[in-house]
């Protein structure tokens, strides 16, 4: 019965939420700057009858929307941040800057779809509980800055997920299925070196180069790569090279490192080793060093009970149908991606798709005993340490097209993206309603969660005293 309600509810409200998604696509705001995106969600949630807590966890763009009474309490997670440097014309089949977006950003990871779909699912659940007089509380979490700022980690540290019985979310992708994926834990840190400026020609012996310290840090880290665990990753960006004048010894320079490993313990150990390299670089160059942790997130704790529930709902609902124009657009995008990119998409499947089509038109089989390793990171991991959590993925983009690419931005307002977004909303809402109706299922998910933790409580990887890295526009 709830499946039919969810299907009808989502189809009835599709145009409203397609507009919301398109608006957030056009705002294209970066992490912790999602002022308009957050406000658009908040206003729509208030109209739908939710009670709002805004500016939670010390983050102006983070919020919690709640409806219903009593337990259980099911959380639905939404995101809405964009990426820098990905301005792209909507539905173009070549890379060209957008005429709609002037800030240079773009939704290259589909978070405009993610937040809107999760939002719609929460509204559907709220209406079902109210219409049927059922106990229970549904919460929609407005989670900013997933792309490296890791807003959910700060929200987890603030205890915002502590009383949840379960959490559900999704991610736009190129396939339909449950995300039975182990993502990496991560720490992001700034190394800020301060040296002494001097005339590089007349008195170089008096200078102490902060840029040299940055380069020595990078050299040392490159040697470290040979001695890391195979699933670990180091990435860096020089965020301040000390100026553009080579005849001045650079007194200030900064490099940002992203450090990943399979779990919190491994990433903490690797983090200390990289910090030691930076300290050594400071000693070698006669500079001082400031180490500033920027953000961090935990590895994902999977939950087979919830994964199997979401897989069942995706299967019962059935994948979207596409018309010739949608298939033609997908084929045109598919033609712009390389065979290597298609092969990468295939690696994310339990069984390789032997003859890839431009659009993935089945539900990916779920093998609960075989989790895939993803070498990216997500702050959903921190939520999964606190409460049983599951994610699904739906095909919103042409198969083989990659996240953080112009192709994903181009497809972000397409009918294909909208259909994937609505499909995910139905799957999340139907899964949540099953948990409300089936206490034994929810108890099983919680028991599995406790077993996987093996008595290890959640320890936030961001210590107290480290504040969200809010830009001036968000902190004002």
390 with 307: CB under 8 angstroms? yes
Beta-bridged to residue 188, according to DSSP, are: 258, 295
Collapse the DSSP code of 474 into the 3-class scheme (helix H, G, I; strand E, B; otherwise coil) and give the result. Answer: helix
49 with 65: CB under 8 angstroms? no
Could you read off the pLDDT of 78-137 as tens digits, one per residue? 999 999 999 999 999 999 999 999 899 999 999 999 999 999 999 999 999 999 999 999
pLDDT at 410 over 80: yes
Structure tokens at 337: 């991606």
**Element (DSSP H or E) covering residue 138:** strand 136-143
Q: Rounded to whole angstroms, what are the CA distances from 305 to 271, 308, 335, 370?
A: 33, 5, 38, 14
What residue has token string 């006669």? Answer: 286
Could you read off the pLDDT of 310-349 as tens digits, one per residue? 999 999 999 999 999 999 999 999 999 998 888 888 877 8
pTM, rounded to two decimals: 0.95
Could you read off the pLDDT of 342-387 as tens digits, one per residue? 888 887 787 667 778 899 999 999 998 888 888 889 999 999 999 9
Q: What is the DSSP letter of 231?
A: T
pLDDT value of residue 472: 63
pLDDT at 65 over 60: yes
Q: Nearest 5°: CA angle at 130, between 129 and 134? A: 50
Burial, 99: exposed, middle or buried (Cβ in 10 Å; 0-12, 13-18, 19+)?
A: exposed
pLDDT at 474 over 60: no
342 with 360: CB under 8 angstroms? no
Q: Rounded to whole angstroms, what are the CA distances from 92 to 38, 243, 396, 415?
A: 27, 38, 16, 14
* Distance, CA of 137 to chain centre: 24
Counting every residue, how long is the chain? 476
Tell me how far apart the alpha carbons of residues 332 and 316 are, in angstroms, rounded to a whole number: 30
Collapse the DSSP code of 136 into the 3-class scheme (helix H, G, I; strand E, B; otherwise coil) and give the result. Answer: strand
Cβ neighbours for 96, distance < 8 A, ≥ 6 positions apart:
88, 89
Could you read off the pLDDT of 235-256 as tens digits, one per residue? 999 999 999 999 999 999 999 9
pLDDT at 163 over 80: yes
Task: Write down all domains in the chain, each with its CATH number in brackets.
Answer: 2-181+300-453 (3.40.630.10), 185-296 (3.30.70.360)
Structure tokens at 154: 């700060």
Helices (H), 200-247: 210-224
Helices (H), 335-366: 339-347
Q: Rounded to whole angstroms, what are the CA distances from 333 to 329, 337, 405?
A: 6, 7, 12
């Amino acid at each position: 019965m709830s499946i039919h309600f969810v299907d009808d509810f989502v189809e009835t409200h599709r145009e409203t939420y397609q507009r919301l998604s398109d608006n957030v696509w056009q705002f294209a705001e970066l992490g912790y700057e999602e002022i308009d995106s957050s406000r658009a969600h908040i206003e729509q949630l208030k109209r739908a009858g939710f009670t709002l807590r805004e500016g939670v966890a010390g983050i102006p763009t983070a919020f919690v929307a709640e409806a219903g009474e009593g337990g259980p309490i099911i959380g639905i997670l939404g995101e809405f941040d964009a990426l820098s440097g990905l301005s792209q014309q909507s539905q173009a089949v070549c890379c060209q800057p957008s005429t709609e977006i002037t800030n240079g950003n773009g939704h290259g990871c589909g978070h405009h779809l993610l937040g809107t779909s999760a939002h719609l699912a929460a509204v559907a659940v709220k209406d079902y509980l109210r219409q049927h007089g059922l106990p229970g509380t549904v919460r929609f979490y407005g989670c900013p800055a997933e792309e490296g700022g890791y807003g959910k980690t700060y929200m987890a540290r603030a205890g915002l997920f502590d009383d949840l019985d379960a959490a559900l979310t999704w991610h736009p992708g190129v396939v339909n299925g449950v995300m039975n994926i182990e993502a990496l834990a991560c720490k992001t840190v700034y190394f800020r070196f301060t040296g002494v400026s001097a005339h590089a020609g007349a008195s170089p012996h008096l200078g102490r180069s902060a840029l040299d310290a940055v380069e020595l840090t990078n050299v040392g880290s490159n040697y470290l790569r040979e001695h890391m665990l195979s699933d670990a990753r180091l990435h860096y960006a020089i965020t301040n090279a000390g100026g553009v004048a080579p005849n001045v010894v650079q007194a200030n320079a900064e490099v940002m490192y992203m450090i990943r490993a399979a779990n919190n313990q491994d990433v903490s150990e690797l983090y200390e080793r990289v910090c030691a390299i930076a300290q050594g670089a400071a000693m070698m160059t006669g500079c001082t060093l400031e180490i500033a942790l920027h953000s961090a997130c935990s590895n994902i704790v999977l939950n087979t009970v919830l994964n199997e529930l979401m897989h069942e709902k995706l299967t019962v609902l059935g994948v979207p149908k596409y018309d010739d124009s949608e298939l033609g657009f997908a084929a045109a995008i598919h033609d712009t991606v390389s065979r290597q990119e298609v092969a990468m998409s295939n690696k994310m499947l339990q069984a390789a798709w032997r003859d890839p089509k431009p659009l993935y038109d089945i539900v990916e089989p779920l093998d609960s005993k075989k989790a895939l390793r993803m070498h990216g990171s997500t702050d959903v991991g921190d939520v999964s340490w606190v409460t049983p959590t599951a994610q699904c993925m739906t095909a919103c983009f042409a198969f083989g097209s990659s996240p953080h690419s112009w192709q994903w931005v181009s497809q972000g307002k397409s009918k294909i993206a909208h259909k994937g977004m609505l499909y995910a909303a139905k799957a999340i809402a139907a899964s949540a309603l099953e948990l409300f109706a089936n206490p034994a299922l929810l108890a099983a998910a919680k028991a599995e969660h406790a077993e996987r933790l093996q008595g290890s409580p959640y320890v936030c990887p961001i210590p107290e005293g480290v504040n969200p890295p809010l830009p001036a526009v968000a902190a004002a």
